[in-house]
Amino acid sequence: MAVETFEKLNPEHIDAFREVGNIGMGSTATALSVMINSPTDISIPDVRVVAADAAKNLLTAISGAALGMVIDITGDITGKLLHIIPSQFAQRVINTYYEKQISTWDDLNEMDFSVIFEMTNITSAQYVNALSDLLGMFIDISTPRRSENLAAEVNGTPSLLFINTSLIILENMQKDFMIFLPDEHSLDPIIEKLKLRKAK
């Protein structure tokens, strides 16, 4: 029977995704430290399955204080990543290059977006590379695009994987969030790969 929802993942599967998050975000911290020329550390990611309704409520609540980026996933599995960037974190990254106060998308110009897109490319690529290595699958990603309605991005999904990470940049903690949304037909192959990995 097909696995139609993340709620059917067992704790070992969640631990495997936590490992992916740990490896991927660890690589992200290294790449980000080079990008912003500042020492960057990272917490162990908090990975949990969240019902879509709860996620919609959260995304609606933070929509005014966070920037949403969508990355399409193609290859052996398909779906998307949502990268949710609190405005404080976006401002910290942009301020590496020039001073800028940010609260919503309306505050950003073309140059600001280029910085955010570059950062999102780094974070999404590192996470997907770690996932690809763990599963032994070919996974590709699209160029990030912005979303002005994050809650709508999870429509039609009963549950999702929420990845909450803290980045420490020059002793200042910055929150960073990702939501992994594989298409329904992609979750079964992921589970099978995780089972094979455990059996080795």
Looking at residue 86, its pLDDT comes to 82
Tell me the mean pLDDT in the region 96-119.
85
Looking at residue 30, its pLDDT comes to 80
From the list 147, 149, 126, 134, the residue with the least C-alpha distance to 192 is 134
In a domain, 82, yes or no: yes
Cβ-based neighbour number of residue 66 at 10 Å: 21
Packed helices 11-36 and 110-135: angle between N→C axes, nearest 10 degrees = 140
Looking at residue 1, its pLDDT comes to 35
Looking at residue 194, its pLDDT comes to 73
Looking at residue 111, its pLDDT comes to 92
Looking at residue 183, its pLDDT comes to 82
In a domain, 1, yes or no: no
Give the domain CATH number at 46: 3.40.1550.10
Cα(130)–Cα(127) distance, integer angstroms: 5
In a domain, 106, yes or no: no
In a domain, 134, yes or no: yes
Looking at residue 142, its pLDDT comes to 95
Is residue 71 within 8 A of residue 81, CB to CB? The reply is: yes
In a domain, 45, yes or no: yes
- Strand intervals (E) in the chain: 40-42, 46-51, 66-75, 79-86, 139-141, 145-147, 159-169, 172-182
- Range list of H helices, 81-177: 87-94, 110-135, 150-153
Looking at residue 47, its pLDDT comes to 77
Say how many domains are in the chain.
1
In a domain, 97, yes or no: no
The first and second tokens of residue 112, run together, are: 């600001």
In a domain, 113, yes or no: no
Is residue 3 within 8 A of residue 98, CB to CB? The reply is: no
User: In which domain, by residue range, is 139 found?
Assistant: 10-86+118-199
Is the dihedral angle over the CA atoms 186, 189, 195, 200 positive or is it negative?
negative
Looking at residue 160, its pLDDT comes to 73
pLDDT tens profile 26-79: 777 787 788 877 777 777 777 777 777 787 887 777 766 778 899 999 999 998
pLDDT tens profile 131-190: 888 888 999 999 999 888 888 888 777 667 777 776 666 566 677 788 888 887 887 788
End-to-end CA distance of the chain: 24
From the list 108, 27, 73, the residue with the least C-alpha distance to 179 is 73
pLDDT tens profile 11-29: 777 777 777 777 777 777 7
